[in-house]
Chains A and B, each alone.
Chain A
Amino acid sequence: MRDHGPAVWQTAYRLLANHSDAADCFQETFLAAFEIAGREPVRNIAGLLVRLATTRAIDRLRQRSRLEQRQTDAIDRRPPGDEPDPLERVHTHELASQLTEQISRLPPQEARVFCLRYLNDMSYRQIARELNIAISVVGVSLYRAKARLRAALADAQTEENEVSHAKET
């Protein structure tokens, strides 16, 4: 836990951005990993932990998104201290928040592949091995996920621009 705990915590916190949810996800990840290690030999414990943490964090994110409980006071995102401009900070927060929201709306496998590739820097081969799928499936899932996210983010940005323009006029 000393070796792999920080990576698991970062994976969970990055997606959930909430201390209690990340703590639950952390505990569930290690419990599941111990269960799996008791059943069968594990060759790559780091990959297993990251995969489990990502899966659980996405599940929790989807639950949260479904129940529409994303209230701003429940989310304790901490703004980085080296960002002096409040507008930029709000923009950053908003963009990352939109991305996690759109990830929660992706199909589960695409969301997992996207997170493992772009948030945990795993190679196609590692992702394929961890998720027990073919490398070509990884590539297709990643392509589809990126296309969906790109479109969704662009739509969200356009809507935001229209709202701000309407407010200004």
Chain B
Amino acid sequence: MRKKREQDLLDEAIAQLRQQGLSEPLPQDVVDKTVQRIAKSRAGRPSIRNPQSAIRSFAGWYSRFAAAAVLLLAGYFAGRVTSPDVRELRDALTPAVAASLEPVLRQRLGEELKDHYQVALAGTYVHLKEDLAQQYRDDLNRYAVQTLAASNATTNALLGELVQAINTAQAQDLRRIAMTLSQMEAKRMQDRTQLAAGLVTLASHVEDELSQTKKVLAPFLLDDQPREIEMLPPSRENAPNERTKE
């Protein structure tokens, strides 16, 4: 019973662990980084393989060639023993040997080329992607700088025009103010002249009137001198009436 329960628990745990990785997709950045690392490791590795593996590969090929040569020789000698026609034997053996070796060679060559070009293409793809991204960033930066410069030039031109317009308006205002002030000054001078002429006229009229009044009053002052004036004490000799009398 206990063993059954333990087995169930283990089965359940395995099932849950199997479910865990299924919903997780392979991220593209991990693939790109792996391709880059493989391309780097292949670029850093010398083109000649490990000497041991090269020797092993050479030994493999050598043993195959040796076996083929032994077979050929055995066939040759068997042919010579059994049949005197060497040409026929060669004609019969050559296609068979070629047919047996050709597919292996083709397959091996194809696999080598496929591996080599796959890695090279993957590395080139990543490099191309990075180059394009860099070029895009550079173009964007250049365009931003150009746009900023053009915007600055336009802003400066507009500001210049604005300053010029303000200066022109100020000059016009000053000219108008000066003109108005000069008009006011001329008006003031004219008013002053008129006032002076009026005052002179008034003064002459007043003088005429005074002299006229004097003339009118003079006989009255001479004929009808009041008694009080005669009875005044001598200390008041300097009175105006006295002087008038004199």
Interface residue ranges, A against B (CB under 8 Å): 1, 5-6, 9-11, 13-14, 17, 19, 23, 26-27, 30-31, 34, 37-40, 77-78, 80, 92, 95-96, 98-100, 118-119, 146, 149-151, 153-154, 157
Q: Total A-B residue pairs with C-beta atoms closer than 8 Å?
A: 98
Q: Which of A27, A40, A95 contacts B12 (CB 8 A)?
A: A95
Establish whether residues B42 and A39, one from each chain, have CB atoms under 8 Å apart when the complex forms: no
Chain B window 1-42, contacts with chain A (Cβ cutoff 8 Å), 1 for yes, 0 for no: 011011101101110111111111111001101110110011
Given A9-B24, A38-B49, A146-B10, 20 other A-B residues pairs in contact with their CB atoms under 8 A: A5-B31, A6-B26, A10-B22, A14-B21, A30-B34, A30-B38, A31-B34, A34-B38, A37-B115, A39-B49, A39-B53, A77-B20, A98-B13, A99-B13, A149-B13, A150-B7, A150-B9, A153-B6, A154-B2, A157-B9
Minimum CB–CB distance for A169 against chain B, Å: 24
Bound-complex Cα distance A5 to B20 (A): 17
**Which residues of chain A have C-beta atoms less than 8 A from B10's C-beta?**
99, 146, 149-150, 153
State the main secondary structure of chain A at its contact with B: helix
Bound-complex Cα distance A153 to B10 (A): 7
**Which residues of chain B have C-beta atoms less than 8 A from A96's C-beta?**
13, 16-17, 20
Establish whether residues A9 and B13, one from each chain, have CB atoms under 8 Å apart when the complex forms: no
B238 within 8 A of A: no
Bound-complex Cα distance A104 to B3 (A): 23
State the main secondary structure of chain B at its contact with A: helix
Establish whether residues A119 and B31, one from each chain, have CB atoms under 8 Å apart when the complex forms: no
- CB-based nearest B residue for A19: B27
Establish whether residues B30 and A26, one from each chain, have CB atoms under 8 Å apart when the complex forms: yes
Establish whether residues A118 and B14, one from each chain, have CB atoms under 8 Å apart when the complex forms: yes
Establish whether residues A154 and B6, one from each chain, have CB atoms under 8 Å apart when the complex forms: yes
Kindly name the residue among B21, B22, B37, B41 whose own CB sees the greatest number of chain A CB atoms within 10 A: B21
- CB-based nearest B residue for A151: B6
Tier of interface size on chain B: 35 or more
Minimum CB–CB distance for B98 against chain A, Å: 23
Minimum CB–CB distance for A23 against chain B, Å: 5
- CB-based nearest B residue for A115: B17
**Which residues of chain B have C-beta atoms less than 8 A from A78's C-beta?**
23-24
- CB-based nearest A residue for B14: A118
Bound-complex Cα distance A17 to B27 (A): 14
**Which residues of chain B have C-beta atoms less than 8 A from A6's C-beta?**
25-26
